[in-house]
Structure 1
Amino acid sequence: MTTRDELLAAAAEVFERDGYVRATVDDVCLRVGVTKGALYGHFSSKKALAVALVEAHALDWARARERLLRVHRSPLQVLVDLGYAAEHAAVRRLLFQSPVCDEVAERQVAQWRSTVHDLLRGAAARGELRADADLPASTEGIVSELVGVHLVAMAVDAADAAARGLDRVWRSWLPAIVRPEVWARLRLGPPR
């Protein structure tokens, strides 16, 4: 693991524990055992560190999508599993609770929207969706509910809040747009 990776991992812990405003670069450096100079050699500021953490998570999420597409035949199962892969408490706090959200939340939500739409379009091409499924409306609804799940999970601060919320999203949206025989085969819980 490089120093940059160690700094990102430490920042995730510190941002999750303290939030963006209370987190300090001193706390991040202390966790890694480096000087502020070493941190500033990789990141120009605490904000740049936070943005890099969110961007690293977005890249991990995109890689997870590609891996899941190789594992699952159904784009809908990929969609369900990606919902769980998006769960990252520090990133959630950065996106929806800090000044960083002004910079990156819109890009992150746009990535979610594009991914959900692509997966629904793939499911439609495979004949997995009902004939009357409205892809744009379903995309917007699912993404809005995913954002809501993250906001509620942050507000209640319970370890399983996001997973329970995701289960509700899938159980409310998917039966309305997915063919019954496909719905019966989907695993709605987190991947094991």
Structure 2
Amino acid sequence: MSTTRDGLLTAAAAAFDRDGYVRATIDDVCDRAGVTKGALYGHFSSKKALAVAVLDRQAREWAETRDRLQRANRGPLQVLVDLGYAVNQDRAVVQRLLFQAPISDDVAERQVGQWTATVRDLLRSAAFQGELRPGVDVDACADAVVAALVGVHLMSLAVEDPAGVARQLSGVWRTWLPTIARPEVYAALRVTPPRRRV
């Protein structure tokens, strides 16, 4: 990725996070990135294209986080829990773009589909490794877990309480994991946030 493009994405994420999609301006993004409008339009055709690229970059970063967690030899269910907390740490700009911005109609479905595919893949790995109870419907479980996690993020838009979001995520894991994980696997899981950023 070019340095200019990466700088524009970083500047755009900061602008969308601070001002939201509607109020953030191309001028502000250019000022933050230290580039001209011509440079921005050389990489992105519109503000919407810039916002979609910010979401795509965030999705790639979460995929890299998942890979790091898996390389640390964590089981699939622990990776799922820790990835949920990692997504929470970076949620603000994603929430503003997916759930508050006019771009949500044609982008949110793709993003949520990617999240569901990731959760489904981790649950399938958990089933293969014997972490799940027999008979767990992985597809239905993936849909339900993503719905619960999206619900937590939507609730956090209404209540400005970052610590509360972590408590709600912990509640999701404490509710769902005992119903799908083998008891001995659940007993070994940490369902609270990691001590340091993943």
**1:90 is the counterpart of 2:97:** no
TM-score of the superposed pair, with normalisation by structure 1: 0.93
Q: 2:171 aligns with which of 151, 168, 172?
A: 168
Query: RMSD in angstroms over aligned alpha carbons?
Result: 1.5
Moved more, 105-114 or 58-67: 58-67
Structure 2 segments unaligned to the other structure (5+ residues): none
Match of residue 117 from structure 1 = 120
Percent same amino acid among aligned pairs? Answer: 64
Partner residue in 1 for 2:182: 179
Work out the CA distance in 1 between the residues paired with 2:66 and 2:133: 23
CA distance in 2, matches of 1:49, 1:126: 40
Name the counterpart of 2:70.
Answer: 69
Q: Deviations over 1:35-64 (max 9, x none)?
A: 222211211111111000001111111122
Summarize the alignment of residues 9-158 of structure 1 with structure 2, pairs less than 5 Å apart: 9-87=10-88, 88=90, 89-158=92-161
How much has 1:12 moved relative to structure 2?
Answer: 1.0
Cα offset, 1:21, TM superposition:
0.7
Partner amino acid, structure 1, of 2:68: R
Q: Displacement, 1:132?
A: 3.5
Deviates more, 1:13-22 or 1:99-108: 99-108
CA contact (8 A) 1:152 1:161 kept: no
Moved over 4 A (4+): none
**What is the rounded CA distance, in whole Å, between the counterparts of 2:166 and 2:184 in structure 1?**
24
- Shift of residue 164, structure 1, vs aligned partner: 2.2
Q: For residues 162 and 31 of structure 2, what CA distance do their matches in structure 1 show?
A: 26
In the alignment, the residues of structure 1 paired with residue 31 and residue 161 of structure 2 have an alpha-carbon distance, to the nearest angstrom, of: 27
Q: Distance in 1 between matches of 2:85 and 2:129?
A: 23
Alpha-carbon distance, 1:79 to partner: 0.5
* Structure 1 residues without counterparts, runs of 5 or longer: none
Distance, in Å, in 1 between the alignment partners of 2:111 and 2:78 is 21
* Matches of 1:153 and 1:97, distance apart in 2: 13
Shift of 1:109: 0.7
**Aligned-partner Cα distance in 2 for 1:13–1:112:** 23
SS in 2 for 1:40: helix
Asked if the contact 1:72/1:78 (under 8 Å) is kept, the reply is no
CA distance in 1, matches of 2:121, 2:3: 34
Quick one: which amino acid aligns to residue 190 of structure 1? P
Mapped to 2, the partners of 1:76 and 1:164 lie a distance apart of: 18
Letter in 2 for 1:26: D
Structure 2 distance, partners of 1:164, 1:11, is 29
| Cα distance, 1:125 vs structure 2 | 1.3
